[in-house]
């Protein structure tokens, strides 16, 4: 058994406290707590329990028995599902006073069992069954509560069979005091990490609330906001695992991964302030309603006027053939169908098609004895939008969401490891060649994290199966567009190569795209 002088005891506890306070991983922390408790008590085994969220059970987190080579939890294999938690309460709601560890947790007191086989206060039938199966002798037990800053029991340390000269001894009062002192240190470290985890959960819940709010505002954007961080992290995880390419000597830390995930989730946060009629603009003429219906009425009036004129002429001359009328009516029909198609928007509208809209707009109709153009100048401007459905003014409002995202996110008091979230989120529309927005950053001004979110944002946008203004692109078309962007110096070529060589595009597609979007991909051509 380890022996310590008073000064050595203090120094040992200080060293343990420092070591425990530095550990961020709760599972490893629990393992270290048990290891240190076993070292200072020279115990053959031990268990760390944590009280479940419903405060009804003690869950086995770490289990060790040195002489039997049993190690579960922490850096070892997880505790088997066959090992059930210890109930704190019986089925009838009464306290479970038959188990030493449950009483320790319920009453918050240390319980020292000198010999389990002679003890009549607690039920050790399970222990005896274990001993018989493994040819072991579980004699001495020490149960010490772990309490948080509010003096609430959050777990239990249980130690088993302290040794001296190769023999099992009992836990002396001095040893109990030493382990209790250690448990106090452990409780502080554990409470700190649990509080940090609670803060993380709260922050993640807040983020999820924001995304859900965007989803309520616009289901399309909500889908986008959920998928971009998933693809972002997929790329980052492959970077961390890459041992053969550009990133073989690079990896993101746990904190950096957390920061990247949060930034990916919040990259479109500014869209909470984007007007709904722009966010949901599925056609060029859509505002509060789609103005194509007004144009349809004007074409009906034009049709009426032409028919009236024809029948007036026919009264004067019965030999006038109806074929000319049908020809004019067909042209009216074709012109409107063309405008209706133009209203949908698309990837590109040629100059010739834009000119055709202008030619149609030269026609006039009579309304209330007034001659008015069949299309207003504003309607012509909207119908000739070359890409998508947004006018220049609409696009400026939409693009402002990036600056607004940064402005709003920058007001939050982030912990140190999340300080770059506003910057990464605010760069997702920047391009390596400096032609992006809102700041025109380029090259080394854009860190890898921002580049990852940018390519994830573009790829998701191209393949999104839920955009009202366009059909989702086939996988091959989306990847070819990304290749063009690489050639134009807009997105990171190394990330594009990773997307292809690691088949991340296919993994993402299988999980998030419609089956009919997944077509044949010529990877060699894309990488050439």
Whole-prediction pTM: 0.66
The residue among 141, 162, 195 that closes a domain is: 195
Number of domains in the chain: 3
Query: Among the three residues 339, 360, 389, which one is the final residue of a domain in this structure?
Result: 389
Token reading at 218: 């616009």
Q: What is the pLDDT of residues 441-480, one digit of tens each?
A: 999 999 999 999 999 999 998 898 876 556 778 999 999 9
- Is pLDDT at 211 greater than 70 in this prediction? yes
DSSP for 100-144 reads HHHHHHHHT--EEES-TTT--SS--HHHHHHHHHHT-----EEEE
**Domain range for 72:** 6-195
Q: Across the chain, how many H-helices and E-strands are there?
A: 19, 10
Q: Which of 294, 295, 293, 301 is nearest to 365 (CA)?
A: 301
Question: Do 430 and 362 belong together in one domain?
Answer: no
Which residue, chain included where needed, has tokens 């060293």?
Answer: 15
Residue 145 belongs to domain with CATH number: 3.30.450.40
More confident residue, 389 or 338: 338
Name which of 45-59, 216-230, 291-305, 336-350 the model is least confident about: 216-230
Q: Are 451 and 492 in contact, with CB atoms under 8 Å apart?
A: yes
Summarised one tens digit per residue, pLDDT across range 254-283 is: 899 999 999 998 888 887 777 777 766 778
> Residue 226's pLDDT is what?
83
The verdict on residue 201 lying in a domain is no
349, 342 contact by CB (below 8 A): yes
Question: What confidence category does residue 1 fall into, taking pLDDT thresholds of 50, 70 and 90?
Answer: very low
pLDDT digits (tens, 9 = 90+) for 64-102: 999 999 999 999 999 999 899 999 999 999 999 999 999
b/e code 37-72 from CB counts within 10 Å (16+ = b):
bbebbbbbbbbbbbbeeeeebbbbbbbbbeeeeebb
Residues 70 and 181 grouped into a single domain: yes
Tell me what the mean pLDDT of segment 151-156 comes to. 91
Residue 358 and residue 492 share a domain: no
pLDDT tops 80 at residue 5:
no
CA angle, corner 275, sides to 274 and 277, nearest 5?
135
Torsions phi, psi for 426 (to 5 deg)? -80, 0
Question: Crossing angle, helix 173-217 and helix 26-41, to 10 degrees?
Answer: 180
Regarding whether 266 and 167 lie in a shared domain, the answer is no
Q: What is the pLDDT of residue 178?
A: 86
CA distance 373 to 382: 15
Query: What's the rounded mean pLDDT across residues 232-242?
Result: 91
Task: Tell me what pLDDT residue 14 has.
Answer: 62
The 3-state DSSP class for residue 470 equals coil
Q: How confident is the model at residue 19 (pLDDT cuts 50, 70, 90)?
A: low
For residue 360, the tally of other CB atoms under 10 A from its CB is 22
Q: Judge if 325 and 400 occupy the same domain.
A: no
Q: Does residue 340 belong to any structural domain of this protein? A: yes
Does 307 sit behind a cis peptide bond, omega within 30 degrees of 0 on the bond before it?
Answer: no
pLDDT at 6: 45
Count of other CB atoms within 10 angstroms of residue 270: 22
Q: What percentage of the chain carries pLDDT values higher than 90? A: 50
Among 153-167, 176-190, 274-288, 374-388, whose mean pLDDT is lowest? 274-288
Whether residue 258 sits in one domain with residue 399: yes
Please state, in angstroms and rounded to a whole number, the distance separating the CA atoms of residues 115 and 166.
Answer: 17
DSSP 266: T
Torsion of CA 306, 311, 313, 315, to 10 degrees: -170
Q: Cα separation of 527 and 510, whole Å? A: 21
Same domain, 424 and 382: no
Matching residue, tokens 């290891």: 35
> What is the pLDDT at residue 264?
92
- pLDDT over 60 (residue 10): no
Give 275 or 171, the one with higher predicted confidence.
171
Q: Is residue 495 part of a domain?
A: yes
238 lies in some domain: yes
> Are residues 61 and 180 located together in one domain of the fold?
yes
State which of 326, 361, 389 marks the end of a domain. 389
CATH code for the domain of 521: 1.10.3210.10
Q: Please give the span between the terminal C-alpha atoms of the chain, in angstroms, as a whole number.
A: 68
Query: Of the candidates 471, 482, 469, 470, which has an alpha carbon nearest to the alpha carbon of residue 508?
Result: 482
What mean pLDDT comes out for the span 292-321? Answer: 84
Same domain, 245 and 308: no
Residues 435 and 419 placed together within one structural domain of the fold: yes
503 shares a domain with 420: yes
Exposed (0-12), middle (13-18) or buried (19+): which is 202, by Cβ within 10 Å?
A: exposed
Closest to 349 in 3D by CA, of 395, 381, 396, 397: 381
| 74-83, 323-332, 492-501: the lowest-pLDDT one | 323-332
Which residues 6+ apart lie within 8 Å of 229 measured at CB?
A: 261, 264, 265, 456
Of 21, 33, 2, the C-alpha closest to 174 is 2
Q: Which residues contact 119 (CB under 8 A, 6 or more apart)?
A: 113
Residues 41, 185: one domain? Answer: yes
Residue 200 resides in a domain: no
- CA–centroid distance for 345 within its chain: 31
Q: What percent of the chain has pLDDT over 70?
A: 91
What is the per-residue pLDDT for 313?
Answer: 82
Residue 213 lies in a domain: no
In the predicted structure, residue 344 carries a pLDDT above the cut 70: yes
Q: What's the pLDDT tens digit per position in 410-429? A: 888 888 888 999 999 999 99
315 within a domain of the structure (yes/no) = yes
Question: Measured at the alpha carbon of residue 237, what is the angle toward residues 236 and 241, in degrees to the nearest 5?
Answer: 120
Q: What is the pLDDT of residue 179?
A: 85
Task: Give the mean pLDDT of 187-201.
Answer: 82
Q: Is residue 279 part of a domain?
A: no
> Rounded mean pLDDT of 4-10?
51
Instruction: Give the pLDDT of residue 271.
Output: 78
């Amino acid at each position: 058994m380890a022996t310590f002088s008073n000064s050595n005891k203090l120094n040992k506890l200080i060293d343990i406290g420092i070591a425990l306070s530095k550990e961020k991983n709760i599972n490893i922390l629990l393992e270290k707590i048990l290891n240190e408790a076993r070292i200072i008590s020279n115990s053959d085994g031990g268990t760390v329990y944590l009280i479940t969220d419903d405060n009804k059970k003690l869950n086995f987190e770490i289990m060790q028995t040195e002489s039997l080579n049993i190690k579960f939890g922490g850096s070892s294999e997880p505790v088997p599902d066959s090992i059930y938690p210890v109930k704190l309460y019986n089925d009838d709601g009464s306290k479970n006073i038959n188990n030493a560890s449950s009483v320790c947790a319920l009453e918050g007191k240390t319980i020292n069992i000198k010999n389990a086989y002679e003890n009549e206060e607690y039920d050790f039938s399970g222990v005896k069954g274990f001993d018989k199966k493994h040819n072991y002798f579980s004699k001495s037990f020490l149960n010490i509560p772990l309490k948080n800053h509010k003096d609430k029991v959050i777990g239990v340390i249980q130690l088993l069979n302290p040794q001296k000269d190769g023999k099992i001894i009992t836990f002396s009062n001095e040893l109990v005091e030493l382990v209790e002192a250690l448990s106090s240190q452990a409780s502080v470290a554990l409470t700190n990490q649990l509080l940090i985890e609670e803060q993380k959960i709260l922050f993640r819940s807040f983020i999820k609330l924001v995304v859900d709010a965007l989803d309520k505002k616009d289901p399309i954007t909500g889908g986008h906001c959920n998928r971009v961080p998933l693809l972002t992290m997929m790329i980052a995880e492959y970077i961390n695992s890459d041992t053969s390419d550009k990133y073989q000597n690079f990896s993101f830390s746990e904190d950096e991964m957390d920061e990247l995930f949060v930034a990916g989730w919040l990259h479109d946060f500014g869209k909470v302030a984007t007007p709904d009629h722009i966010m949901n603009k599925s056609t060029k003429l859509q505002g509060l309603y789609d103005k194509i219906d007004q144009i349809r009425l004007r074409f009906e009036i034009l049709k009426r006027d032409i028919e009236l004129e024809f029948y007036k002429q026919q009264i004067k001359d019965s030999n006038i053939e109806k074929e000319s009328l049908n020809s004019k009516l067909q042209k009216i029909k074709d012109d409107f169908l063309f405008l209706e198609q133009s209203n949908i928007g698309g990837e590109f509208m040629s100059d010739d098609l834009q000119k055709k809209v202008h030619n149609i707009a030269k026609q006039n109709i009579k309304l209330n004895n007034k001659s008015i153009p069949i299309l207003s100048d504003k309607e012509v401007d909207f119908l000739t939008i070359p890409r998508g459905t947004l006018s220049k003014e609409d696009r400026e409002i939409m693009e402002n969401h990036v600056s607004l995202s940064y402005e709003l996110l920058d007001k939050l008091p982030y912990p140190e490891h999340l300080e770059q979230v506003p910057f990464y989120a605010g760069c997702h529309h920047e391009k390596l060649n400096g032609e992006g927005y809102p700041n025109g950053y380029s090259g080394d001004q854009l860190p890898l994290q921002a580049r990852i979110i940018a390519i994830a944002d573009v790829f998701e946008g191209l393949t999104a199966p839920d955009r009202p203004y366009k059909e989702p692109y086939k996988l091959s078309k989306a990847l070819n567009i990304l290749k063009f962007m690489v050639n134009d110096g807009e997105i990171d070529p190394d990330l594009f190569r990773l997307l292809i060589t690691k088949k991340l595009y296919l993994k993402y597609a299988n999980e998030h795209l419609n089956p009919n979007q997944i077509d044949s991909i010529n990877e060699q051509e894309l990488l050439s």
